[in-house]
Amino acid sequence: MDIRGFLETSMLDWDGKISSVVFLSRCSFKCPFCHNYPLLFEPEKLKKFEVEEIKKYLAEHKNWIDAVVISGGEPTVHQDLGKLIGEFKDMGFLVKLDTNGTNPAMLRSLMENIDYVAMDIKAPLNEKYDRLAGTSVDLEKIKESIRIIMGSGKKYEFRTTVVPGLLSLDDLKAMSGQIAGAMRFVIQQFEPGNCLDESLRDAKPYPKEKILEMASAAKEFIPNTVVRGV
């Protein structure tokens, strides 16, 4: 398991939980607004963390840490992901998985052992998805992952980063309609910073009022719509 990042303590990655975050290398997408792209292209330049050293930290802080969040990159590109999840579960920790939904077969196999899933939905389920994902996307797999998550009985959220110039209010309306009835929808503010696409590094994020307008529109389909980062 190629772990190239480890955040010992986070109160932001799982609402209401104190978690440790494990970052796995590689991804099936190349999103232009990605900030974690060293995990995609140059993971060997990042520090590698061994599973045993992470488990040692978790064991020493078991009275403090509630959960482990497995993120990336895209965790489901790793065939041993189920084994890693099982090791954390055997230690008594809750486990949350961050995913882009491109591997529904693996996702289905993991659901029984996962406590929470956060799936990124990049765009409306149409030709626009390729642009936001930075690659050609099999939308049928994305749709299947959405169905698996919504029918799982587990806690979950779908989340979307609203990139100015790439996603509009109409896009958000379309997306929320496509996941109508979802348990939770998180609309995330775009952060220019160190985006993979250099042209986005100077892009101005949508103002708070626009984000709230998008959230209001989404609530017609998903009452539990929240905003993050504004």
**What is the per-residue pLDDT across 51-62, written as a single tens digit (0 to 9) for each?**
999 999 999 999
pTM of the model: 0.95
Beta strand pairing call for 3-10 and 19-24: antiparallel
Pick out the chain residues at pLDDT < 50: none
CA torsion sign for 162, 163, 168, 170 is negative
Host H or E run for residue 162 = strand 155-162
Rounded Cα–Cα distance for residues 166 and 53 (Å) = 41
pLDDT of amino acid 1? 86
CA torsion sign for 204, 205, 209, 215 is positive
pLDDT of amino acid 42? 87
Q: Which domains does the chain have, with CATH numbers?
A: 3-228 (3.20.20.70)
pLDDT of amino acid 137? 98
